[in-house]
Amino acid sequence: MAKQYRAAVIGLGRMGSTFDDEKSAWDRAPRPHAHTPCYRAAGVEVVAGADPHEGQREAYRRKWGIESLYADYREMLEREQPDILSICTTAKPRARILLDAVGIGASRGLKAIWAEKPIAISLAEADEMVAACQRAGIVLAIGCSRAWSPMYNQMRELIDEGELGDLLQVIGFGQAGVSHNGSHLLTTVNRLAKGRVQWVFGHMESDEAAAGDVDLEGNCYLHYDNGVQGFVRMTACGGANWEIEVIGTQGVLRAIADAQQVQFYKTVASSLPGRRAEPAQHIFPLPGASHSSNTRTVLDLITCIETGKEPNCSGDDGRHALEVAIAMRESHRRGGTRVALPLADRSLYMRSSETLHGGEPAIVRRARAAAQAAG
């Protein structure tokens, strides 16, 4: 990386700044995870930040020593002219912020945007975001961090090398709202299936929830354009929470506990006469990565800027995950019928769970709840 890239962050709360403060003794996920420390770990200078809440700006200044902080992100973009921009707000204002950023930054050297997930609230917003970045030649990555996870990437590499034979099915378990954290599961399953979802059968947590516009849990059968079948369970998963299984004609990969362990089986001929071929456990080659998933996101963005590569989770991938989530709900609304993608009605939307608390920062809500619990 010969060029010294400059980054700016919009939204100076949990994902922009403080996520890593939550680490516990039992947390084995590689860090850092928040955007600001990941830029620093990747050798990218964070030159500025923007947040409408004065308290968050001051906390960010104290934590990171960055003085160029703005209440208005538009002013920041005009003055600071970053190469890379993070949008770490909730999904509700994300489309407007991104479109403003493209409009201002396209002529001021903005090269890439790293936006948190889900990409947007509505399909129309997502369409506009993807199209705007494509027109401006700005790389757009959506922060579904498992797309950059060393373990999941190693699984994809084994699939690409044909170690499983022809893919048959991908199954994912992860309790979540289908739009918010469900975007992690959907983009991971889609990436391992190596295809685009053509149609779905969805079953949501209840008729009442499916009738509304708020994020909800649900399960779904998926059919991909390459013939692979998929299934995701985002209702309660018991002892199998955040597990993914990839089945091929010659082998199986099973990611356990969010890929903290991966089992790898390949079908081999039996040593006993008359017995059919049977699975034999193989060693899963550990990736030995030295960076966290989100640090790898920054490094991937730089590669995309310099080579034209698509991000591991592009704007189009993020839009596809939102469309699948909405199609799941539409299938339930229509009595469990098959729903084809792309959806014709682009006005359809889902209010991601992190948008349901108004404009108050999460850190403020948690501090108040802790004070109430203590007093």
**Do 330 and 185 lie in a common domain?**
yes
Please report the pLDDT score of residue 27 as a whole number.
65
Model confidence at 97: pLDDT above 80: yes
The SS3 of residue 55 is helix
Model confidence at 270: pLDDT above 90: no
**Do 183 and 205 lie in a common domain?**
yes
Please report the pLDDT score of residue 49 as a whole number.
98
Does residue 61 lie within any of the structural domains? yes
Model confidence at 367: pLDDT above 70: no
Instruction: Name the amino acid, one letter, at 206.
Output: S
What does the alpha-carbon distance between residue 121 and residue 125 come to, in Å, rounded to a whole number?
Answer: 7
Does residue 138 lie within any of the structural domains? yes
Region of poorest pLDDT, from 19-23, 228-232, 236-240: 19-23
Q: Which residues lie across from 220 on neighbouring strands?
A: 202, 232
Model confidence at 23: pLDDT above 80: no
Does residue 240 lie within any of the structural domains? yes
**Do 31 and 16 lie in a common domain?**
yes
Of the candidates 45, 76, 57, the residue with the CA atom closest to the CA atom of residue 13: 57
**Do 152 and 142 lie in a common domain?**
no
**Do 21 and 129 lie in a common domain?**
yes
**Do 220 and 334 lie in a common domain?**
yes
Model confidence at 227: pLDDT above 70: yes
Please report the pLDDT score of residue 354 as a whole number.
83
Task: Band the pLDDT of 268: cuts 50, 70, 90.
Answer: confident
**Do 165 and 280 lie in a common domain?**
yes
Q: Judging by DSSP bridges, how do beta strands 112-115 and 139-142 pair with one another?
A: parallel
Region of poorest pLDDT, from 187-201, 261-275, 300-314: 261-275
Does residue 368 lie within any of the structural domains? no
Query: How many domains does the chain fold into?
Result: 2
Does residue 59 lie within any of the structural domains? yes
Query: Which structural domain, as residue segments, surrounds residue 130?
Result: 6-146+293-312
Please report the pLDDT score of residue 271 as a whole number.
73
Does residue 205 lie within any of the structural domains? yes
Please report the pLDDT score of residue 67 as a whole number.
97
Model confidence at 273: pLDDT above 80: no
Please report the pLDDT score of residue 359 as a whole number.
64
Does residue 277 lie within any of the structural domains? yes
Q: What DSSP state is assigned to residue 81? A: -
Task: Band the pLDDT of 117: cuts 50, 70, 90.
Answer: very high
Please report the pLDDT score of residue 134 as a whole number.
98
Instruction: Record the pTM.
Output: 0.94
CATH number at residue 189: 3.30.360.10
Region of poorest pLDDT, from 48-62, 157-171, 180-194, 271-285: 271-285
Model confidence at 364: pLDDT above 90: no
Q: Judging by DSSP bridges, how do beta strands 167-173 and 243-248 pair with one another?
A: antiparallel
Please report the pLDDT score of residue 277 as a whole number.
78
Q: How many CA atoms lie within 13 A of 89 on its CB side?
A: 22
Of the candidates 57, 128, 69, the residue with the CA atom closest to the CA atom of residue 99: 128
Please report the pLDDT score of residue 3 as a whole number.
80
Model confidence at 24: pLDDT above 80: no
Percent of the chain with pLDDT over 90: 86
Does residue 365 lie within any of the structural domains? no
Please name the residue that has the structure tokens 């709202």.
177
**Do 184 and 233 lie in a common domain?**
yes
**Do 198 and 218 lie in a common domain?**
yes
**Do 236 and 332 lie in a common domain?**
yes
Please report the pLDDT score of residue 26 as a whole number.
56
Region of poorest pLDDT, from 7-11, 30-34, 102-106, 189-193: 30-34
Average pLDDT over residues 212-216: 97
Average pLDDT, the chain: 94
**Do 23 and 106 lie in a common domain?**
yes
CATH number at residue 83: 3.40.50.720
Please report the pLDDT score of residue 372 as a whole number.
76
Residue-wise pLDDT for 153-172, tens only, equals: 999 999 999 999 999 999 99
In what order do the strands lie in the sheet containing 6-10?
69-70, 45-50, 6-10, 84-87, 112-115, 139-142
What does the alpha-carbon distance between residue 305 and residue 356 come to, in Å, rounded to a whole number?
Answer: 35
Please report the pLDDT score of residue 114 as a whole number.
98
Please report the pLDDT score of residue 360 as a whole number.
66
Please report the pLDDT score of residue 215 as a whole number.
97
Q: Which tokens is 312 given?
A: 């591991």
Model confidence at 60: pLDDT above 80: yes
What does the alpha-carbon distance between residue 174 and residue 331 come to, in Å, rounded to a whole number?
Answer: 20
**Do 138 and 152 lie in a common domain?**
no
Average pLDDT over residues 149-155: 97
